[in-house]
Amino acid sequence: MKDQIINANQSVEQRAKQVKSRYYPAYHIAAKSGWINDPNGLIYFNGQYHAFFQHHPFSERWGEMYWGHVVSDDLVHWRYLPIALAPSEPYDKDGCFSGSAVDDNGVLTLFYTGHVLLNNNEIQGLIHQVQCIATSQDGIHFIKQGIVLAPPEGIMHFRDPKVWRQGDCWYMVLGVCDSENIGQVWLYHSKDLYHWQFDQILAKVDDPDVYMMECPDFFPLGDKYILMFSPQGMQAKGYQYRNRFQSGYIVGEWQPGETFKICQPFTELDFGHDYYAPQSFLTADKRRIVIAWMDMWDSVMPSQADKWAGALSLPRELHLSSDNKLIISPITELQLLRSKAVLSHDIEVINGKQDLLLDSWQCELVIKIDLNKTDAERAGIAFTASNDDNQFTLLYIDNQAQRLILDRAFSGSGVMGYRSIAIPEGQILELHIFIDHSSIEVFVNHGMATLTSRFYPTYEQRTIKVFAENGKLVIDQLEYWYLKNIHDIV
């Protein structure tokens, strides 16, 4: 594997010289160059946070998967480390697919799916997938330890191991497509990480169209357990499930040796265009944090012209409400990025538009809208707006449909479509918003809902405007911060 990693790192560095800053994120995790997708192996280990990700270092398009690697002291500022895993063995020669990490008595241990194309034929879709281990004493350089779990006869799609310790036993959940083409999550247990026994079919979605439950994660939160996963095949239903694939969660009760008793059915985790393969981990102070791939399969990706594609979402803290819904908030550590603060009160717009004279290349906003006084048919904010108003990304209230809408119809190159949620009850609508060079993340009413989407403006001017159509918009308070850059590429 050593030679493959050397070649991959050299390719990343060489191609990074061609990466442009126009879409490259200022404060999100992304590779120096090349393609990335799912986050992997998120862990707090020996006083630092490690994040790995699916990575193709030789192209800005999906290909044979390697594991990229970054590390942080504070979950905000990330430092690049050498690529951790490369496809090099007969059992993983066509890709080191997604997985997780554990601390095994001071040894950083990665679990990943070894992916092999049968007869070297990707078109026919015949594959073989096994679960593998790699270990590291220093948290940087890894040694493969081989296969620890193979699928039973007749199972082809068998991937994305998430491993954790509970009591004196290790557990693993896997995404599986069964012999009848139905997506399931399987649970295994082990005493030593190397010998695994099948425990049970933990869950399957009550939807015959779902043929795979990718990237499962299973963890306690409050007094319940959360099964988080990304179903493939789910069909759109009205405003729901509009993306190519979804990400969501099920809430239930579970103890080792028992079945998973569901008390909250599948719920979408994020309502934007670009959020997939979320994985969770615990911080040093035991907060449950989740990071996802901030893109979507089959999406237009204009950044590929700049020799890179893919980024990870901001870290988000999870809590469980009394009615078994996830509350999702940006981690407090992100305040380390803030500078150039602006505070405004009592902004009112009637049948028109107002330029706030604020830059929206890389910023954070908290906006409190008075719903009782806002009676416009449509009213909200235009981000990354060009001076001639030909380009903008809209986040607005539709008082007729009673929905909050994130609209990319005029956002720039390639992307289209809108996503929405029902307007929450209450007098004040609070929108906590993070804008980066090609992304927006919206946290609604202290994490009751989130919307995450990518966009690719073609104008250098990127201002913020507020507007109201056929009525009035009333903003009680607006807080704004310019956010610092964490990357070498500026």
Active-site residue set: 38
State the CB neighbour count (10 A cutoff) for residue 323.
7
H/E/C letters for each residue in 386-438? CCCCCCCEEEEEECCCCEEEEECCCCCCCCCCEEEEECCCCCEEEEEEEEECC
408 by Cβ neighbours in 10 Å (0-12 / 13-18 / 19+) ranks as buried
**Tally: H helices and E strands in the chain:** 1, 31
State the CB neighbour count (10 A cutoff) for residue 116.
18
The Cα–Cα gap between 186 and 174 comes to: 5
Q: Give the list of residues 6+ apart from residue 258 with CB closer than 8 angstroms, or none.
A: none
Contact indicator for 203, 194 with CB cutoff of 8 Å: no
Estimate to the nearest angstrom the gap between the alpha carbon of 258 and the chain centroid: 30
Q: Which residues of 350-388 are buried (b: 16+ CB within 10 A; e: fewer)?
A: eeeeeebebbbbbbbbebbbbbeebebebbbbbbbbbee
Q: Which residues of 207-216 are buried (b: 16+ CB within 10 A; e: fewer)?
A: eeebbbbbbb
β partners of residue 440:
435, 453
Report the alpha-carbon angle 191-256-111, nearest 5: 45
Sign of the dihedral through C-alpha 190, 195, 200, 201: positive
Contact indicator for 97, 111 with CB cutoff of 8 Å: no
The Cα–Cα gap between 93 and 110 comes to: 17
Q: Residue 304 phi/psi, 5° resolution?
A: -60, -25
